[in-house]
Amino acid sequence: MTVVADSLQLATTLGQLLLRKKWTITTAESCTGGGLAYCLTAIPGSSAYVDRSFITYSNKAKQQMLAVRSATLLQFGAVSEETVREMAAGAAKAAAANVAVAISGVAGPDGGSVYKPVGTVCFGFYVDGSVASSHMLFAGDRQQVRQQAIDYALKQSIQLLTALLN
């Protein structure tokens, strides 16, 4: 995997914000398969704010590693704002991190449905005790969807931390 220049700049900016707060970050990734953590750790000195990350591709992993409730997965599915909120909160707790970013989606080329078409990605953000979520529908092939998801997660994390610093 290579880090796109824009992603590297976003990861650098996020790292600077984390250093200013003296906070740590963790990631809980499904469809991006560790791509967000890869971007974060591509920055020299990132060990000051990245301790660990979770790749939870299966529902079983989400339950075992992040304490996502089976009822949530059954009712809403793995690709849902409800699930990524639990993923983010569970990752933050497991890593004792101030910030956690969770990503779960349908990167394609298969696996989509009428309600969750290919390109649907849900994001969970845990920041200092608060949890937020969002979802996006990205266009493109599998790699493009994954890259857009990583960049969106970085941008949203920057936005959330910047709001706290102002």
Predicted pLDDT at 2: 67
From first to last of its 166 residues, the chain has per-residue pLDDT tens of 667 889 999 999 999 999 999 999 999 999 999 999 999 999 999 999 999 999 999 999 999 999 999 999 999 999 999 999 999 999 999 999 999 999 999 999 999 999 999 999 999 999 999 999 999 999 999 999 999 999 999 999 999 999 998 8
The pTM score is 0.96
CATH of the domain at 91: 3.90.950.20
CB 54 within 8 A of CB 84: no
Q: Range of 43's domain? A: 5-165
Beta bridge partners of 29: 55, 103
- Tokens at residue 116, please? 């969750």
Count of structural domains within the chain? 1
